């Protein structure tokens, strides 16, 4: 390590990394914002000690389930791992499938519903207001 790098790091030690097994975070629950159907929730970032700057979640929306339309006060990302769904943002709707992402903007009314025969499995990431 260079002397300059060591000086730059002095007094700015980051917290130790946290490794999380999603199996330790799983629970069956109704999706948020309307309790439409059922889902498998992986509340991954809940295992990270505070303060944390963003939330990182995985959710499998079971057949017929949805995260109801709700306002957001931050940008939010839905990234689809498998299945299909329809994402809603301020009245506009788009189909999502594995490998696609929807970037949703602060101030929008957003939601997502599962379509098709298989669960819609997605990653949801957004800033943590408590860290601000």
pLDDT of residue 3: 60
Total-model pTM: 0.86
Q: What is the pLDDT of residues 120-132, one digit of tens each?
A: 999 999 998 765 5
Q: What is the pLDDT of residues 36-63, one digit of tens each?
A: 999 999 999 999 988 889 999 999 999 9
pLDDT of residue 2: 60
Residue 31 has pLDDT above 90, yes or no: yes
pLDDT of residue 130: 61
Q: Do residues 19 and 45 touch, judged by C-beta distance below 8 A?
A: no
Cα separation of 39 and 29, whole Å?
Answer: 5
pLDDT of residue 108: 98
Residue 114 has pLDDT above 90, yes or no: yes
- The total domain count for the chain is 1
Q: What is the pLDDT of residues 1-29, one digit of tens each?
A: 566 555 555 667 888 889 999 999 999 99
pLDDT of residue 102: 98
Share of the chain above pLDDT 90, in %: 77
pLDDT of residue 78: 98
Domain with residue 29: its CATH number is 2.60.120.10
Q: What is the DSSP string of the chain?
A: --HHHHHHHTT-PPPPP----GGGGEEEEPPTTT-BS-EEEE-GGGGSPSP-SEEEEEEEEPTT-EEEEEE-SS-EEEEEEESEEEEEETTEEEEEETT-EEEE-TT-EEEEEEESSS-EEEEEEEE-GGG-
> Domain of 83?
3-131
pLDDT of residue 7: 54
């Amino acid at each position: 390590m260079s002397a300059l790098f060591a000086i730059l790091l002095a007094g700015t030690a980051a917290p130790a990394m946290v490794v999380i097994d999603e199996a330790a975070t799983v629970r069956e629950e109704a999706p948020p914002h309307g309790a439409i159907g059922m889902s498998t929730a992986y509340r991954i970032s809940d295992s990270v000690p505070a303060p944390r700057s963003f939330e990182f979640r995985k959710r499998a929306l079971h057949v017929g389930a949805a995260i109801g339309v709700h306002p957001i006060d931050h940008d939010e990302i839905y990234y689809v791992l498998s299945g299909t769904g329809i994402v809603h943002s301020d009245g506009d709707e788009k189909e999502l499938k594995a490998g696609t992402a929807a970037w949703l903007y602060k101030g929008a009314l957003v939601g997502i519903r599962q379509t098709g025969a298989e669960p819609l499995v997605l990653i949801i990431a957004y800033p943590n207001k408590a860290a601000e």
